[in-house]
Amino acid sequence: MWKIRRGVLTLILESSRSSYPDEFGAFLRAKHRIIYEIVLLPGTVSGSSSVVYNLMMKPIDFTIVGSVHSHPSGVPLPSQADLDMFSRTGDIHLIVAYPFNFDSWKAYNRFGEEIDVKVID
């Protein structure tokens, strides 16, 4: 089972709230299936309807396990573009939705299937 540190989830939610109405996006860093940090990539562009990751800037770093991005629409379901990115960028992906609180996010595997992630201190 995947886990995420409460402070990391709080940072993601606050960053998403700060970026609103644009999307926020980053990569996730984990060790032993515990997400402990986000990684911002240079050249990532956030807009009103998408986050464009500059994958050329993604370091060769096996601690980067997936991605996170926000949906200002309030719907934390992956689009087709999200599913395409999930399949290429790791094993776990988070979507946080407006109003960006602890009840408005979901996690998915690389196939777009919803998975459980436990929040830990």
For residues 85-94, average pLDDT: 93
Q: What is the pTM of this model?
A: 0.89
> For position 44, which CATH number holds?
3.40.140.10
Confidence of residue 55 (pLDDT cuts 50, 70, 90): low
* Bridge partners for 69 per DSSP: 25, 95
For residues 20-47, average pLDDT: 84
DSSP state of 106: E
- pLDDT for position 43: 53
Residue type, 103: D
| Tokens 């980067």 sit on residue | 64
Over the chain, what is the mean pLDDT? Answer: 88
Of 23, 37, 113, 114, the active-site residue reads 23
Confidence of residue 7 (pLDDT cuts 50, 70, 90): very high
Tally the domains of the chain: 1
**Domain limits at 57?**
2-120
User: In 10 A of CB 7, how many CB atoms?
Assistant: 12
In the residue annotation, 37 being an active-site residue is answered as no
